[in-house]
Structure 1
Amino acid sequence: MLIPLILSGGAGTRLWPVSRQGHPKPFMQLTDGQSLLLKTYLRAAAVAQGGQILTATNRDYFFMSKDELTKARVGDVECRNTFLLEPFGRNTAAAIIMSAFMVAEQFDRDACLLVLPADHLVQRQEAFAEAVQNAEILARQGRLVTFGIVPSMPETGFGYIEAGPNIPPGRSVLRFVEKPDVETAQKYVSSGNFYWNSGMFCFLAGTVLNEFALHAPDIFQTAQACWQELRHTTKADANMLEIPAKHFEQFPDISVDYALLERSANIAVLPADIGWSDIGSWSAVSQLIKADADNNRGIGECLFVDSHNIFAQSEERLIATVGVDDLIIVDTADALLIVPPDKAQDVKKVVTLLKKQNHDAYKLHRTVFRPWGSYTVLEEGPRFKIKRIEVKPGASLSLQMHHHRSEHWIVVNGMAKVTNGDQELLVGANESTYIPAGCSHRLENPGILNLVMIEVQSGEYLGEDDIVRLSDKYGRCQ
């Protein structure tokens, strides 16, 4: 049995302003309309043995992840997915060992875990499937297998793996090397003994648990206590397991590379030429687009005049450049990024500054996705905010109230079922209702079409934290 484990927790700060805390890199759509997470689900389903996939992600991303999984089921291959939900981020070591405990108990210690980051792109699917088969051979020899990407250039943004003697179908590992400078990276590539560290792994659940117990006993003991509490509070057939915060916060914030792989002598690297990219910066995204004669690339409506080496992406507006060279331009509804390609790795510094300023742009887009649908801020100013709200069929917002604002709801499309204090009423297209401050209320979509409505907020404070949830079908009440 081979079970893909999808790690979906990265923030992707170098891909701001598209990737944000509330809608991170795995949910970014590429030019074919598929997100990186959806592509990972499809890739995982094609190699899974036993019809099972495991996703380790933050609880806040559960409903968005389920939506992507639903899209993956449109194809010929369907897999049962179990979600392991983290209360907050603790890097890859915690997610992997908790997943190994779950697989060892619910399936078998000899079940093979294939660890796949949700935000990578693999363009050679047949080569990937062959690499997975070879990795499983090594894993069933009792080894911890890491996929080493055959380097195509002296990349300074990746860690490297130095390979030793052959262990068919892979090689032994001599050492892991941090991101080098250009000169060192060139030597690594020329030697033929170094591979990019992809962050993809393959090992038996029992093997990785034994290795953690030997080389990182503190992490093993924390995970064991966390799993014991989790298994006593979760039904055996549940497809959603919420990790208890009390024990999870005891995990160190450390990657599996540092916690285990660099300490173990039982590591193998499988060289893989699979068309891999971690899509780690806008420079990497630009390489996915065909260039024009002046090496300009565009996503959306873009116009280049006397310009060279430009990458531009627009969600809504036309981008036009005149007489400029060597720029990355990314335009979203509420933020514009302009950066030269050689500074693309520094975009994460913008996110750091936005966090220090507590600016919403580091975590939220103008359109925000919720379990029930989405809302888009159309306009706001002193004492007012206007939103477009879309509610999926059968979905409902929480029963809630606000201390500081009143709301006026106008239905544009569909039918709304509204709880307004002690009243319950149906509101159709071109009809409206008023919710005064302090009044409990709920919005539901009882129909089979998406409900679209305009919400006008008025009040002295209009922040999203002025929501008191009284009940919620999505478990968001404290």
Structure 2
Amino acid sequence: MQIIPVIISGGAGTRLWPVSREAFPKPLLKLADGESLLQKTFKRATLFEDVPEVVVVTNRETFFLTRDECQEVNEDHIPLGFVLEPFGRNTAGAVASAACWVKKHHGEDAVMLVLPADHLIEDPEQFQAAVNAAAAAAAEGRIVTFGIRPTAPETGYGYIEFDNEKGLDGVHPVVRFVEKPKLEVAEALVAGGSHLWNSGMFCFSVKTILKDFTRFTPELLHACESSFAAGAVLTADGCRSLELEPGQFKRVTDISIDYAIMEKSDRVSVVPSNMGWSDIGSWHSISELTAPDSQGNRIYGDALLHGVSNCYIKSDDRVVGAVGVDNLIIVDTPDALLVANRDCTQDVKHIVGQLKKNGHDSYKIHKTAHRPWGTYTVLEESDRFKIKRIVVKPGAQLSLQMHYHRSEHWIVVSGTADVVNGEQIISLQPNQSTYIPAGHKHRLINPGVMDLVLIEVQCGEYLGEDDIVRFADTYGRAG
């Protein structure tokens, strides 16, 4: 029996703004030990012997960041496969598309272990034991979910009622699913002993889950299969990927796997576990991962405090000073600052909604934006100019491109740059520069073994990132 881990890495993580953004989602968030939630999920998914491939479902725009995060911790060089969504369609579409991938490459008898990329599990041995029990049941035709034995009457989680009297090898029939309850209902559920937190992790064979998709949501499955069949395939850098075709994928219903399958199927079972699970759903839960000082404060970064208690302060770049405050969450980034009451961190998503409504870029991107070739940081901008610091990774190159509305001046700070500028091909050393008029085809290449750093000065009537025509691209973004 083969277990194929499927990591679902999507969602904007709006409750963890300003660190989590649409173009830098929650799974990429680094914890205090320097590992991201995605990396922890990847390492957890590869605890099992003879894993033939790890499949990751993610957004097309975050593919390269996601790939780099996985490759960084892929010490055993397990093959990677990526299913790339053109836009989000919730977990049912993600799971159905992943099932198409696993069926094609591993057969319909393969067992899929579906793991959200933004959860934290503190007891890997309990996790392994639960997965082994679930995989055995999945091979017999069951759809298995993982239930967490509750430690408190949480109102932010869904619950699973299970038959405690029936069960085999730690796997019990599911009686029903319960939506996120009010506090008094949650207290009664926890006291009763027959309800578990719904972890959002699943295990089933490809054959079984496709049968239930056909039974309950045939239109959704057909749209996913059509999008998968018409998708563009790319193999590069030791992994293979498939971009789902957008026209067909638009027809996929925006619905969760819970609503689409779990609450309807008669095949569903649950494995109760004490694996130390958390969905890291807010800054309050993030703050609980750091040990408090004698005043109840948790500090990540550089902060000076006077008369401060029960606060969480995170700042990567600037010094934060706090005086006479209590019970606050303070998260500082180069372009945005969050100050929230610890008891209201679930409401951070409303700030993101306002930013999006107002068209403010900070809901989507950071001041430093990540690209497959490296990063750029906007240092200053006005109506007719923008100044960027560009870092190109060794051996990487930007697309061969052209801009209609802006000219660019590149000044190399460190490293070596090979530049295509119109009909010219030139090499630039530190303190050398080139000017690229609007309408000129151009390309930037780092031929060296160290980062290439340069300053780019843009001038023109329009400086938006969408003023770009790509003629050729190493990363499949042209055309």
Deviation at 1:230, TM superposition (A): 4.3
Residue identity matched to 2:166: N
Question: Cα RMSD over matched residues?
Answer: 1.7
Cα distance in 2 for partners of 1:225, 1:459 equals 43
Deviation at 1:477, TM superposition (A): 2.1
Q: Given the alignment of the two structures, is residue 109 of structure 1 paired with residue 108 of structure 2, yes or no?
A: yes
Cα distance in 1 for partners of 2:23, 2:228 equals 27
Residue identity matched to 1:263: K
Cα distance in 1 for partners of 2:430, 2:43 equals 39
Cα distance in 1 for partners of 2:478, 2:251 equals 24
Contact between 1:4 and 1:48, CA under 8 Å: does it hold in 2? Answer: no
Cα distance in 1 for partners of 2:367, 2:357 equals 20
Aligned to 1:166: 166
Cα distance in 2 for partners of 1:318, 1:171 equals 52
Instruction: Give the 3-state SS of the residue equivalent to 1:20 in structure 2.
Output: coil
**Aligned positions of 1:1-80 closer than 5 A:** 1-47=2-48, 49-73=50-74, 75=75, 77-80=76-79
Cα distance in 1 for partners of 2:421, 2:133 equals 60
Deviation at 1:347, TM superposition (A): 0.5
Unaligned runs of 5+ in 1: none
Aligned to 2:138: 139
Identify if the C-alpha distance between structure 1 residues 34 and 50 changes in structure 2 by more than 3 Å, giving closer, same or farther.
closer
Percent identity among equivalent residues?
51
Aligned to 2:356: 355
Aligned to 1:323: 324
Contact between 1:315 and 1:332, CA under 8 Å: does it hold in 2? Answer: yes
Cα distance in 2 for partners of 1:280, 1:230 equals 33
Aligned to 1:211: 212
Deviation at 1:226, TM superposition (A): 3.4
**Aligned positions of 1:29-428 closer than 5 A:** 29-47=30-48, 49-73=50-74, 75=75, 77-164=76-163, 165-168=165-168, 169-230=170-231, 239-428=240-429
302-311 or 212-221: which moved more?
Answer: 212-221
Residue identity matched to 1:256: I
Residue identity matched to 1:94: G
Aligned to 1:462: 463
Contact between 1:296 and 1:304, CA under 8 Å: does it hold in 2? Answer: no
Cα distance in 2 for partners of 1:134, 1:300 equals 42
> Residue deviations 1:302-336, cap 9 Å, x none?
22221111011102111121111111111000000
Cα distance in 1 for partners of 2:454, 2:138 equals 53
Deviation at 1:432, TM superposition (A): 1.1
Deviation at 1:217, TM superposition (A): 2.3
Deviation at 1:56, TM superposition (A): 0.9
Q: Could you list the runs of 4 or more consecutive aligned residues of structure 1 that deviate by over 6 angstroms after TM superposition?
A: none
Unaligned runs of 5+ in 2: none
Deviation at 1:48, TM superposition (A): 5.6
Deviation at 1:238, TM superposition (A): 7.7
109-118 or 219-228: which moved more?
Answer: 219-228
Number of residue pairs aligned between Structure 1 and Structure 2: 474
Deviation at 1:186, TM superposition (A): 1.0
Cα distance in 2 for partners of 1:115, 1:475 equals 28
Contact between 1:386 and 1:454, CA under 8 Å: does it hold in 2? Answer: yes
> Residue deviations 1:421-445, cap 9 Å, x none?
1111000011111112222211110
Instruction: Give the 3-state SS of the residue equivalent to 1:239 in structure 2.
Output: strand
Instruction: Give the 3-state SS of the residue equivalent to 1:369 in structure 2.
Output: strand
Contact between 1:175 and 1:262, CA under 8 Å: does it hold in 2? Answer: yes
